[in-house]
Structure 1
Amino acid sequence: MVALAVVSGATDAIGLLALGGAFTSVMTGNLVILGVSASSADGALAIASGGAILAFCAGCALGARLAGLPRPDDAVWPRPVTVGLAVEFVLLAGYAVGWWVTGAEPGPVVTQVLLFAMAAALGVQSSTVQRFGISGMSTTYLTGTLTTVVMRIVAGRAREVRSSVEIIVGLVAGAAAGAGLLLVAPLTAPIVQLAVLGGVVVAAVVVGRRR
């Protein structure tokens, strides 16, 4: 889950900084950006934020179809989760190819296509992890996770927040890595996403076969 949060952070940072100024997983932020674009009559921003919302929803629907609902006989890591994440990897690989072909400088149309591909990928991830059936579990939208951390600390239950804090730190670290690569070596920006997500999928396949 921490590794998937790293993927989310890197993807959001790249979308926000290099692909139209919209988020790929933070739909609350995109809804705000969509409202701002309406007031400022910024058509490009409206397309970026509105399109990202639609792509994310489509990805969520696809992930839900692939992963399904939690079942009593589920393994610790259900196989449908691996399938969903493999589809996410394909979407991110498609974005990476487009990024590399354009020399990390996509034109306006390609920029939107790449942004929407990444938003769809994180939509798949968001709904796929729900197969674990853990209330409040998320690797993309973490406002609720942060709220829970604060509430439990205030209630004197700080020992219960370790996993949530690790996921939050993973998101921040991923965003820092994605933004850093954009600044120093733009062509390498997709590597963080592909390497980390690919590692998760490979590990899941290996563990699944052993069991």
Structure 2
Amino acid sequence: MSTTKTPIHLEYILGLTAFAAGAVDVISFVKLGGVFASAMTGNLAFLALYLARGSLHAAVGSFIALVGFILGGVIGTLQTRGRSNHHALNILLVTETILLTAVIILWLPTTHIVGGLATNLLILMLSIIMGLQSIVGKKVNLSNIPTVVFTSTLTNMVIAITDTLASGKFALPTDTKRQSASFCLYFVGALIAGLLTVLDWQVIIVLPLVAVAWALVRHLRAKPE
């Protein structure tokens, strides 16, 4: 068994991007017409529901999010082909930071009307960002944490915790602790974004940028493995 200690900056990247994903999902759902920018399983279900109801504008938004996420995954894959994980993460996090800054610039002066051009463009941009972030999770490659959707993470946590308790042990594996931390940080990001939507504070859109930019700074300061 390897005893190599995981670089702390990778732990930061996992936690901060999970936080960002939680915030983005609440922002896109509440402010952009009931779509998820990162949780594509839920988004696909909503797309089917909107089509069944004949809610065309909402269905278009969900479809745009699905296309954007796929496009983000394609872009992230092409950006990082043949590169070391350290260099790949630099590229991905820089791209995310630039795009999140562009989202803020578009967000502040526009009204967010379901089916509106600005709204659909924001959905596209946020889902592209989350698609890119899914590649970040692959490049970090710790504990099978995807950084954008946490259903599989929850399954892994339940399996590990159940196995641990059934064996009479009470010390959780490192992977489970890491998965639990990311799961909780996704929730915290969503909770803070939710509170800001209740207060109707425009600063809500800054949350994902702060988290991803912090992850980028931590990574830039780290030495390549």
Instruction: Report the TM-score when normalising by structure 1.
Output: 0.89
Letter in 2 for 1:67: T
Do the aligned residues in 2 keep the contact of 1:66 with 1:128 (CA within 8 Å)?
Answer: no
Equivalence for 2:89: 81
State the shift of 1:208 in Å. 3.6
Q: Structure 1 pair 135/163, CA: closer, same or farther in 2 (3 Å)?
A: closer
Which of 114, 121, 126 aligns to 1:113? It is 121
Instruction: Map 1:20-59 onto structure 2 (within 5 A).
Output: 20-59=33-72
* 2:182 corresponds to 1:167: yes
Q: Are the equivalent residues in 2 in contact too, given 1:92–1:194 (CA < 8 A)?
A: yes
Q: In the alignment, residue 36 of structure 1 is paired with which amino acid?
A: L
Aligned residues of 1:25 and 1:141 also touching (Cα < 8 A): yes
1:200 equivalent among 207, 211, 215: 215
Distance in 1 between the 2:121 and 2:157 partners?
A: 36
Other-structure match for 1:98: 106
With normalisation by structure 2, the TM-score equals 0.84
The aligned counterpart of 1:3 is: 16
Query: What is the distance in 2 between the residues matched to 1:133 and 1:188?
Result: 31
Paired position in structure 2 for 1:189? 204
- TM superposition shift of 1:38: 1.5
SS in 2 for 1:207: coil
Q: 1:152 aligns with which of 160, 184, 190?
A: 160
Distance 1:66 1:135, change over 3 A: farther
Runs of 4+ in 1 over 4 A off after TM superposition: none
Contact kept in structure 1, 2:18 and 2:147, CA below 8 Å: yes
RMSD: 1.9
Is the CA contact (8 Å cut-off) linking 1:79 and 1:208 kept in structure 2? no
Q: Distance in 2 between matches of 1:126 and 1:140?
A: 6
In percent, how many aligned pairs have the same letter?
A: 24
Q: Which runs of 5 or more structure 1 residues have no equivalent in the other structure?
A: none
170-179 or 150-159: which moved more? 150-159
CA contact (8 A) 1:66 1:83 kept: yes
Query: Residues of 1 paired with 2:162 and 2:29: CA distance?
Result: 33
